Amino acid sequence: MINLINKILEKKNISDTSYFYKYVTVCNIFNMCFNLALFFLKIICSYISNSSVIAADAYSDLVDVLSTLISIYALWIAHFDAGKDHPFGHGRLEWLAGALNSFLLILVGINTFGSSMKNITGNTTTHYSSLIIVLLLISVLIKFCMWFYNLNVAKKVNSSLMQSIAVDCISDGLMTSCILFSIFLSKFTAIRHADIWIGFIVSMFIIVSAYRTLRRIANRIIGLDITPKFANDIENLLKVAPFDFTVYDLVAHDYGLQRMFISMQLVGSAQSESALSYWAHQINIDLYDKYGVQSTIQTDILAPKKKRDHIECIVYTIAHKRNKHVVIKNLRIIQDTKGLVVFLDIQSPSAMHDFEVELKKAIIEKLGKIDVIIQFKITHNHHEKR
């Protein structure tokens, strides 16, 4: 299927956003056609067999058709470039479409559970012929094929939307497989309402799978740390520099549809000031050429060692005076044109109110009247002993 899509589009490079949109859209058109055909196939089977479980499975495919139409519309908007009101593009709409698909899938799971609960108390008689079994086997085969190519597309283009669709396909395939299993149980064992009991199990599987996918997408929307592989790639770019410097605050900002922005701070000695600025510019170019990533790199020069030693001593003394479990990370003292800038990360089990004011006052008392800017971020470590 993936080779067929590549042949249709006559291209195998998906690095640019416009091709990403076309690629995923073609995949979704195939999904919509398959789901529509499966809906009619299963609704006929449910009518012949008088099975509410097969009917619920059929309507699940109809919901998939609706969610695919919504996905195609969301992708159409998402592939547009940055505009006046949205300077980073519209790529995150693809995540929202994936979240909507997962939410609809949860509703399908709840509906299946409700149908099973309703029919367990009824006296519905079902009739499963050999033709229905063959048709359901075909639908299972189609769903597993859809799962395979959607999962491969999701990995190829790193798409949350295609990931959620793949989960939907495997859920539908397993649901139909369970219905087939329940038919065999009904025919060859004394178990009554086997299809209904299987419906309970499948509905829970659908809800749990959709919830996990929804949580993955939510984590991506909230913001995730840079992946270890990408961090390692950036580190390899930095290693070739002919002088020493330290990288701080490496952050990746993901805006969807392979649009990513990176920010970092490079800190070096006064002797490497001009080389540091040149190297930051070179890293900007390399990141864009190799990964299509735009970046903002701040370069700073360390303060003289004597001043750094004094300030480090003051920072640790005041911080530990506040709380002995405080952890100071990424402390660096930068020499600015107007004075000093102190950067630090504080991991503390308790609040650090007015820490900045107290620290600034202590530095001025120690080093004399100078301009001091203190920038820090505090994370509360609730797992430490207080």
| Domain layout of the chain by residue ranges | 2-222, 228-301, 305-380
CATH fold group of domain 305-380: GMP Synthetase; Chain A, domain 3 (3.30.300)
Q: Is the domain covering 2-222 a CATH 2.60.40.10 domain? A: no
Q: Give the pLDDT of residue 37.
A: 92
CATH for 228-301 (3.20.20.140, 3.30.70.1350, 3.40.630.10, 2.130.10.10): 3.30.70.1350
The encoded tokens of residue 253 equal 């900002």
- Tell me the pLDDT of the chain averaged across its residues: 76
Q: Give the pLDDT of residue 195.
A: 65
Q: Give the pLDDT of residue 88.
A: 67
Please state the rounded mean pLDDT for residues 174-184: 81
**pLDDT band at residue 34, thresholds of 50, 70 and 90?**
very high
Looking at the DSSP bridge assignments, the partners of residue 268 are: 301
The whole model's pTM is what?
0.59
Tell me what percent of the residues of the chain surpass a pLDDT of 90.
4
Non-local CB neighbours of 348 within 8 Å, separated by 6+ positions? 322, 323, 325, 326, 327, 378, 379, 380, 381
Q: Quick: pLDDT tens for 273-293.
A: 778 888 888 888 888 888 778
Please state the rounded mean pLDDT for residues 148-173: 80
